[in-house]
Chains A and B, each alone.
Chain A
Amino acid sequence: MPTRFRASTPEWTSGKTSEPPDSLSGKPAAPVRTTRPGPRTRGVRTLKPITLLKAALFLAALVPAGALVYGFYTNDLTANPGDYITDQTGTWILGSLFASLSITPLRRLTGWNDLIKLRRMLGLFAFFYAVLHMLTWVVFVHYFEVSFMIEDVVKRPFITVGMTVFVILFALTLTSNRFAMRKLGRRWQSLHRLAYVAAIGGVIHFWWLVKADITEPRRWAMGLAVLLGLRAWWAYRKRVSSRASLQRAAARP
């Protein structure tokens, strides 16, 4: 089982699993260690650039949350801090989600495959901000009144969409670990394509909730169009070229 899993989903995993096994990359296999390494004695290695980038990105992704905490203590969240926090956390759900969705295009454009190691973390940050966003709704907007929340979800399409996105992000978070990947096998990839649905839903949610000024949701929608458009274009090119190679193969005597 582990072998099949590793071979079928290297792209969709992060951390160690995304380093393809040597048998796949075609590199000669690493020499077999003669001494058995102890559990924590891998030796000192120089930090890889991707590790540093990941650490930096981790801290950067915490800045918006930190700014809210700081703003709370310095009384700098406007006279309507509930709404302000809702807006900010909402923005950073989209920010994290879009960052995670730009990993694949960036890998492809830069050829830097290690970037995949950032994706899970970015997705988890989207969920982190989604939890905060949801809490503002539960606490500041509805003050734990379940009946009001249900009414909101049923009556107001932008809330319905937002809730759907939250459920998706929750499901993706629950299945973001290696155990779930192994359990789900190929279906894991299909499930995690819901990240696209979450991004589309997030932009719709934003678009529907603004009063008049669609400048910001329009910007997100354009970003989304680029992210999805690139994928569509690449998928199209792949199909065309594979058809061409099939035709070439068929034309051969």
Chain B
Amino acid sequence: MLIKKAPDIRSSEITPKSVYLRRREFIQGSAAALVAAGFGSLADDALAQGGLPKLPNVKKSPLSTTEPPSAYEYVTSYNNFYEFAPGAGDGPKKNSTKFKSAPWTIEVDGLCNKPAKYNLEDFIKPYALEERIYRFRCVEAWSFVIPWVGIPLSEFIKRAEPQGKAQYVEFTTLQDVARFPMQRTDVLEWPYREGLRLDEANHPLSIMAVGIYGEVLPAQNGAPIRLMVPWKYGFKNVKSIVRMRFVEKQPLNTWQAMARNEYGFYANVNPTVDHPRWSQAREKRLPSFIANRKTEMFNGYADQVQSLYAGMDLRKNF
């Protein structure tokens, strides 16, 4: 074989300076192309749905983002739902195929004038369903855009008539080992609990979600009813709720009870306050191999919600 020594650097190999100076963008662009190739066209997938019952008479909301929703397939196969499986992934989907969410009872109690127990149907019947397309940011630095279907949480609060002493509302997930296999283990303290300050709960962005993509919630996404407060990290949005209780003192939410130094009560999305083990400055809008966007203060809802936290030290109240 004839081995010819190549000239040191061919002129065709010399990167134009303008490209060289923007090499990071170039690499990022190539990676984005690679990722796009790997995942196929997202626009088509976003329309694909799960074949679950459609929710009727859902009206659009001006509170929705105009960002394109993530693909249904990913939103329903990449979940954190410790009652079904530990950690994020497709475990919750795989382990929830037999989950039955009917019949379902919700208890409203605590410091309110109209405590009651409702069937799910009665609980939501008086209200109109709205589509709310929200950004969803997990504390583990990944995010989706999800078209939820739900009802403003303030409606349920109004109906319960909280007393003057009520400052917080606490939510509890169903405790049922037969339906939630991981409740056999001590991975978390069961049942899962979360809470909101009453003014957070009454904020127009806070909803009780009963569906996604126009259909009822799949089990792995928190069927049949869950909280959705879009400016907070995902774990605040307690799933499969069976109880709503009005209380005077700040409730101890499950993750705070598990690791007080890592998860607070407020859990507002905040790029400037890192989790002890990872940065919150950026996030992966899934599907993606890499962090592809900067995390926004209050998950991009700062204009609507920052007044709720005026004068508070958000480093302390993380």
- CB of A140 within 8 A of CB of B277, answer no
**A20-28, A206-214, A220-228 - the one binding chain B:** A206-214
- CB of A139 within 8 A of CB of B38, answer no
- Asked whether B107 is an interface residue with its Cβ less than 8 Å from the other chain, the reply is no
- CB of B86 within 8 A of CB of A215, answer yes
Interface members, chain B 14-42 (any A CB < 8 Å): 24, 27-28, 38-40
CB B66 to nearest CB in A, in angstroms, measures: 22
- CB of A212 within 8 A of CB of B290, answer no
Interface members, chain A 72-120 (any B CB < 8 Å): 72, 75, 78-84
- CB of A79 within 8 A of CB of B286, answer yes
- CB of B290 within 8 A of CB of A215, answer no
- CB of B289 within 8 A of CB of A82, answer yes
CB B144 to nearest CB in A, in angstroms, measures: 8
**B87-95, B214-222, B240-248 - the one binding chain A:** B87-95
- CB of B290 within 8 A of CB of A139, answer yes
Interface flags, B255-292, vs A, CB<8A=1, else 0:
00011000000000000000011110000101111110
- Given A75-B38, A139-B290, is A80 in contact with B88 using a C-beta cutoff of 8 Å? yes
Q: Please, which residues of chain B bring their CB within 8 A of the CB of A212?
A: 82, 86, 187-188, 258-259
- Given A212-B187, A215-B187, is A79 in contact with B86 using a C-beta cutoff of 8 Å? no
- CB of A78 within 8 A of CB of B89, answer yes
- CB of B40 within 8 A of CB of A75, answer yes
- CB of A156 within 8 A of CB of B276, answer yes
Q: Please, which residues of chain A bring their CB within 8 A of the CB of B288?
A: 80, 82
Q: Please, which residues of chain B bring their CB within 8 A of the CB of A139?
A: 289-290
Interface flags, B67-95, vs A, CB<8A=1, else 0:
00000001001100010001111100000
Q: State in angstroms the CA–CA spacing of A139 and B30 once bound together.
A: 13
Q: Please, which residues of chain A bring their CB within 8 A of the CB of B86?
A: 212-213, 215
Q: State in angstroms the CA–CA spacing of A72 and B37 once bound together.
A: 11
Closest to B35 in A: A81
Q: Please, which residues of chain B bring their CB within 8 A of the CB of A144?
A: 24, 27
Q: Please, which residues of chain A bring their CB within 8 A of the CB of B28?
A: 143
Closest to A74 in B: B38
CB B78 to nearest CB in A, in angstroms, measures: 4
Q: State in angstroms the CA–CA spacing of A72 and B286 once bound together.
A: 15
Q: State in angstroms the CA–CA spacing of A211 and B235 once bound together.
A: 12
- Asked whether B142 is an interface residue with its Cβ less than 8 Å from the other chain, the reply is yes
Interface size, A (range): 20 to 34
CB B304 to nearest CB in A, in angstroms, measures: 28
| B residues contacting the other copy or chain, number (CB 8 A) | 33
Q: Please, which residues of chain A bring their CB within 8 A of the CB of B188?
A: 212
- CB of B284 within 8 A of CB of A80, answer yes
Q: Please, which residues of chain A bring their CB within 8 A of the CB of B287?
A: 79-81
Closest to B85 in A: A213
Q: State in angstroms the CA–CA spacing of A72 and B277 once bound together.
A: 27
Q: Please, which residues of chain B bring their CB within 8 A of the CB of A83?
A: 88, 140, 142
- CB of B279 within 8 A of CB of A148, answer yes
Q: State in angstroms the CA–CA spacing of A211 and B115 once bound together.
A: 36
Closest to B82 in A: A212
Q: Please, which residues of chain B bring their CB within 8 A of the CB of A128?
A: none
- CB of A156 within 8 A of CB of B89, answer no
Interface flags, A186-211, vs B, CB<8A=1, else 0:
00000000000000000000001111
Q: State in angstroms the CA–CA spacing of A206 and B258 once bound together.
A: 18
- CB of B279 within 8 A of CB of A82, answer no
Q: Please, which residues of chain B bring their CB within 8 A of the CB of A75?
A: 38-40
Q: Please, which residues of chain A bring their CB within 8 A of the CB of B284?
A: 80, 82
Q: Please, which residues of chain A bring their CB within 8 A of the CB of B289?
A: 81-82, 139-140
- CB of A156 within 8 A of CB of B277, answer yes
Q: State in angstroms the CA–CA spacing of A144 and B286 once bound together.
A: 20
Q: Please, which residues of chain A bring their CB within 8 A of the CB of B77?
A: 78-79
Q: State in angstroms the CA–CA spacing of A140 and B34 once bound together.
A: 13
- CB of B90 within 8 A of CB of A78, answer yes
21 contacts between A and B (CB under 8 A): A72-B38, A75-B39, A78-B89, A79-B74, A79-B142, A79-B286, A80-B286, A81-B289, A82-B288, A82-B289, A82-B290, A84-B89, A139-B290, A143-B290, A144-B24, A156-B277, A158-B277, A211-B140, A212-B86, A212-B258, A215-B86
Other than the known A75-B38, A208-B277, what 10 A-B pairs have Cβ atoms closer than 8 Å? A75-B39, A78-B78, A79-B78, A79-B142, A80-B287, A139-B290, A144-B27, A212-B82, A212-B259, A213-B82
- Shortest 5 CB-CB contacts between residues of A and residues of B: A213-B86, A79-B74, A79-B78, A79-B286, A79-B287
